Structure 1
């Protein structure tokens, strides 16, 4: 008995050490960025792994001023919130139609939508920009939001579809008997039961849209419409780069979404677990 406890204790210690090592590798890049955000450019170039000789908190104030942080934050926030809201509304209703209406064409559309998830964005970005440019729809945040709807709907419908199929149809039939319309039955009966997958989808899409650089760089041209990621990019010039300010800008950019993801992490796990149980 004692031998088994000793072996189990050793196993637990080894498991903890392995997790600690892998966690260190995961945290190390971000730690390096934070350390270098307090340095002058020369210090970053000479030894990016060393601690700063003097912690320059002024880097953050200067970076925020140069990148017009609050304006860029507002743009990113509006794009992220609006995109997620539209994706959730349209995708949940689309998945409901696919799951509840036994139309033959629904199977075709759902298969096409699921297959579209394997198409990489890089393969369509040049034609996409060319078409939207010819329609004078570039440099517009709502055009960007519309594109996020297009690229995010397939995955969202795929998630919602599986959850809706597991919800007993009798709940909706009872609501219809009581005089509710199909629209009311969906929003008052079905959608509240989709809370786990909706929460998971919101968090995953928030991480994707907030951190996205490529699509905004193709659509948003003027400085006043830049997102945080685009504003950070302009610290890197062709012939020179201010690495200290760039690192401070990176921290300011990712800090809000890191706080949100850490706070909402338990909801992601809960949503995945409940989805597996269903």
Structure 2
């Protein structure tokens, strides 16, 4: 209770199934012939992994980063129940408390909400070219 590590462990455990599902679906669609060609060209298993497989995982990695970041950034219930101290609360309950304290000051509430959206929006804009590729990777055969 009231520790970042406790919240981090819970958030990682809740996001892990989706991440594993996306990676597994994406990797099923990768042709094994590329790895075999690297082996024929003389690459070791480690070289094949780091120089061939990992670079092909960029689209799904970007998708996992975006989906996990948005989910964790918007996490409200965990912060309210586990992180009760105002010093360790995440952004969603902090903004909720701020809006409640401001009462009818809608300008301040809108500014707080806008500030909370900016980091996730920037991450999406940087990773958007990979996002769609990673989302549909397991859907097509």
TM-score by length of 1: 0.42
Indicate which of 204, 213, 216 corresponds to 2:79. Answer: 216
Contact 1:175 1:185 survives alignment (8 Å): yes
- Contact conserved, 1:172 with 1:190, CA < 8 A, in 2? no
Going from structure 1 to structure 2, the CA distance change for 1:270 and 1:197 (only over 3 Å counts) comes to same
User: Deviation string for 1:99-157 (max 9, x for gaps)?
Assistant: xxxxxxxxxxxxxxxxxxxxxxxxxxxxxxxxxxxxxxx11112111111111111111
Name the CA distance, whole Å, in 1 between partners of 2:9 and 2:36: 31
Q: Is the 1:139–1:225 Cα contact (8 Å) retained in structure 2?
A: yes
List gaps (5 residues or longer) in structure 2.
Answer: none
Residue in 2 that maps onto 1:247: 110
Indicate the residue corresponding to 1:154 in structure 2: 17
Q: Distance in 2 between matches of 1:154 and 1:196?
A: 18
Q: What is the correspondence of 1:1-278 to structure 2 with a 5 Å cutoff?
A: 138-170=1-33, 171=35, 174-175=38-39, 178=42, 180-181=44-45, 185-235=48-98, 236=100, 241-244=103-106, 245-278=108-141
Structure scoring higher RCO (CA < 8 A, sep ≥ 6) equals 2
After superposition, the Cα gap between the structure-2 partners of 1:167 and 1:266, relative to the gap in structure 1 and judged at 3 Å, is: closer
For the residue of structure 2 that corresponds to 1:163, the secondary structure is helix
- Number of paired residues? 138
CA deviation string 1:239-264 (max 9, x = no partner): x8344333322222123323433453
Q: Deviations over 1:53-104 (max 9, x none)?
A: xxxxxxxxxxxxxxxxxxxxxxxxxxxxxxxxxxxxxxxxxxxxxxxxxxxx
With over 3 angstroms needed to count, the CA separation of the structure-2 counterparts of 1:234 and 1:178, relative to structure 1, is: same
Residues 270 and 179 (structure 1), Cα distance of their counterparts in 2 relative to 1, 3 Å cut: closer
Unmatched segments (≥5 aa) in structure 1:
1-137
